[in-house]
Structures are given as structure tokens and as C-alpha cells.
Amino acid sequence: GNSVTQMEGPVTLSEEAFLTINCTYTATGYPSLFWYVQYPGEGLQLLLKATKADDKGSNKGFEATYRKETTSFHLEKGSVQVSDSAVYFCALSASYSGGGADGLTFGKGTHLIIQP
């Protein structure tokens, strides 16, 4: 079946540090890949997405590149801020773009803590 594995947290960084959160996946076919962010007490919000190999998703200074050869979708940011403190989830959708009602398959989440 489909699965997503992401690095365990918590990850603690100082403000302005470089961030990488690793994510690898197992899926048949051509999944779409997502990063969601969950701020304390809130629901999940889409951070960025990629729908095919070599696509780069980006938003709010975060980036992730869909690497089919390594089945990875690592999240990166060049300079983190205290306001980036949250839980980050890597997820995949097995249905091809536009088709299917399948749910998302999520990783366990990585708690990111940014210290001033």
C-alpha cells in the first residue's frame, strides 16, 4: 500500500537557520505530493504541492522538489522564523491529478520549533 515516511521530531533550530525536513514515499503509479502545516490549535493548511516528477512546489519561502528517482519530497527553507514553528506533514494522493476521491496518506508529522 501507499505510505509516507518523514523525519521524527521535534526539530529545534535557531532563527535564520536553514531547514530541511526529509520525506520519502512509497506508492504505485504517479502520486501527487503535498506538504501541509498545522499551527497550534488549528487545522491543516496546504503549504505547497507537486503533481509530477521534477516539479518544484514553493510557498512562503518553503520549497520541495518531487524526486521520482529517490521517491522523495524534502521540505526546505533558507532562513526560518519564529512564526514557522508548527507541525509539518508530508502527504500523498495516489489518484492521478483530477481523478478519484481517495483520501490523503500522511506521514506522522514533524514538530518544528524555532528559537529566537
Partner 1 sequence: NAGVTQTPKFRILKIGQSMTLQCTQDMNHNYMYWYRQDPGMGLKLIYYSVGAGITDKGEVPNGYNVSRSTTEDFPLRLELAAPSQTSVYFCASRDTGTVNIQYFGAGTRLSVL
Is the Cβ of residue 19 or residue 37 nearer to partner 1 in the bound state? Answer: 37
Taking the CA atoms of the chain, what radius of gyration do you get in angstroms?
14
CB of 90 to partner 1, least distance (A): 9
Beta bridge partners of 105: 92
CB of 7 to partner 1, least distance (A): 13
Is the Cβ of residue 12 or residue 45 nearer to partner 1 in the bound state? Answer: 45
Which residues contribute to the site for partner 1 (CB under 8 A)?
4, 32, 34, 36, 41-46, 49, 51, 89, 91, 93, 95, 97-98, 100-109
Q: How far apart are CA 32 and CA 42, in angstroms?
A: 24
Q: How far apart are CA 101 and CA 3, in angstroms?
A: 17
Is the Cβ of residue 19 or residue 36 nearer to partner 1 in the bound state? Answer: 36
Task: Please choose, from the candidates 83, 97, 106, the residue with its C-alpha nearest in 3D space to the C-alpha of residue 36.
Answer: 106
CB of 33 to partner 1, least distance (A): 10
Side chain identity at 78, as an amino acid letter?
G
